[in-house]
């Protein structure tokens, strides 16, 4: 019920509120600047924000003296974008050396949208193929459904919060998918092992046993990952903050789905016990069914 409610809420938020697409998808300008000494990024942001040009991001680029400025697309006319670039250059100061200026048009933004969607779909397809090859199609279906659950809820979070959705966010979604399937494969591996070991145990009880066997590993891995991401969220700076938030949320929801969703989806397949299993010399250990 929680998962169904979360997915429905995420889809409603996506269609009602939409995503706050970044410059990568909407188009805009990119300006690379070099200063004689390391500039104060906070002061530069304050100066550029005062121009009221909409979304503007400023970050260090390469050397400490290099700065990368991204400005959202200003209207449909090229003159509007040119005027905005000139205003930004003036706000950056006379000692700023302009090393590169690029304009990301709406066509490029549409291409990046398409490329990002294809990247996510290909990743999911590759994961399905891998799990199918390693286990069986029942596990592949359950695994990709759990992944779709994680990705959908994460996208819904961005729609609700209004956080910027850009190429870094797509990278975060791919990272979340990889992390989640890693946990899920560990659980599935134990399920397959227990299917050979406890041949007469009721499937709900066997799945519960398998999840409990891997629970400490799953929790410890997630906690140590969250510690590193917490450090990035607090000390990593404004530029990667949304990326880090997406990863933190994805780790939490991915851990939840590995424990409560992926294995439980196997219950929907009545022939799970009939999957191809390698021969095993392990003795049969009968266990009572757990109500």
In the chain the first and final C-alpha atoms are separated, in Å, by 21
The answer to whether residue 155 scores a pLDDT higher than 80 is yes
The answer to whether residue 2 scores a pLDDT higher than 70 is yes
Mean pLDDT across the stretch 169-184?
82
The answer to whether residue 264 scores a pLDDT higher than 50 is yes
pLDDT tens figures, 22-55: 777 777 777 888 888 888 888 888 888 887 777 7
Helix (H), strand (E), coil (C) string for the chain: CHHHHHHHHHHHHHHHHCCEECHHHHCEEEEEEECCCCCCHHHHHHHHHCCCCCCEEEEEECEEEEEEEEEECCCCCHHHHHHHHHHHHHHHCCCCEEEEEEEECHHHHHHHHHHHHHHHHHHHHHHHHHHHHHCCHHHHHHHHHHHHHHHHHHHHHHHHHCCEECHHHHHHHHHHHHHHHHHHHHHHHHHHHHHHHCCCCCHHHHHHHHHHHHHHHHHHHHHHHHHHHHHHHHHCCCCCHHHHHHHHHHHHHHHHHHHHHHHHHHHHCCCHHHCCCCCCCCCCCCCCCCC
**How confident is the model at residue 279, as a pLDDT?**
43
In order of their start, the domains of the chain are 28-104 (3.30.70.3400), 108-274 (1.20.1640.10)
pLDDT tens figures, 45-96: 888 888 777 777 787 776 778 888 887 777 666 677 777 778 888 887 777 7
**How confident is the model at residue 243, as a pLDDT?**
83
The answer to whether residue 291 scores a pLDDT higher than 70 is no
**How confident is the model at residue 277, as a pLDDT?**
46
The answer to whether residue 152 scores a pLDDT higher than 80 is yes
**How confident is the model at residue 76, as a pLDDT?**
62
The answer to whether residue 276 scores a pLDDT higher than 60 is no
Task: Give the C-alpha separation, 169 to 25, whole Å.
Answer: 12
**How confident is the model at residue 216, as a pLDDT?**
86
**How confident is the model at residue 270, as a pLDDT?**
60
Provide, rounded to the nearest whole percent, the portion of the chain with pLDDT above 90.
Answer: 0
What lies within 8 Å, CB to CB, of 17 at 6+ separation is: 159, 160, 162
The answer to whether residue 239 scores a pLDDT higher than 80 is no
Mean pLDDT across the stretch 223-238?
84
Task: Give the C-alpha separation, 181 to 125, whole Å.
Answer: 12
**How confident is the model at residue 108, as a pLDDT?**
59
Confidence of residue 159 (pLDDT cuts 50, 70, 90): confident
The answer to whether residue 275 scores a pLDDT higher than 60 is no
């Amino acid at each position: 019920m929680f998962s169904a409610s979360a997915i429905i809420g995420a889809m409603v938020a996506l269609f009602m509120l939409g995503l706050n697409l970044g410059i990568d998808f909407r188009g805009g300008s990119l300006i690379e600047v070099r200063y004689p000494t390391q500039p104060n990024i906070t002061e530069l942001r304050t100066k550029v924000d005062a121009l009221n040009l909409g979304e503007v991001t400023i970050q260090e680029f390469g050397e400490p003296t290099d700065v990368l400025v991204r400005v959202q697309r200003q209207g449909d006319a090229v003159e509007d974008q040119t005027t905005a670039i000139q205003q930004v250059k003036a706000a950056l100061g006379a000692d700023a050396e302009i090393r590169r200026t690029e304009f990301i048009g709406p066509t490029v933004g549409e291409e990046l949208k398409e490329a990002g969607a294809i990247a996510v779909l290909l990743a999911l397809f590759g994961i399905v193929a891998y799990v199918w090859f390693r286990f069986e199609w029942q596990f592949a279906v359950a695994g990709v459904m759990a992944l779709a659950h994680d990705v959908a809820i994460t996208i819904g979070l961005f729609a609700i919060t209004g956080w910027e959705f850009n190429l870094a966010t797509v990278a975060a979604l791919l990272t979340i998918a990889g992390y989640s399937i890693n946990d899920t494969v560990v659980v599935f591996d134990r399920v397959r092992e227990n299917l050979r070991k406890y041949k007469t145990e009721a499937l709900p009880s066997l799945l519960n046993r398998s999840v409990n066997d891997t629970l400490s590993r799953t929790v410890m891995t997630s906690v140590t990952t969250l510690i590193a991401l917490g450090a990035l969220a607090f000390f990593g700076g404004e530029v990667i903050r949304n990326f880090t938030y997406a990863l933190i949320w994805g780790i939490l929801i991915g851990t939840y789905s590995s424990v409560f969703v992926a294995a439980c989806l196997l219950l929907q397949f009545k022939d799970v016990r009939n999957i191809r299993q390698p021969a095993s010399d392990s003795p049969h250990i009968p266990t009572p069914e757990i109500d």
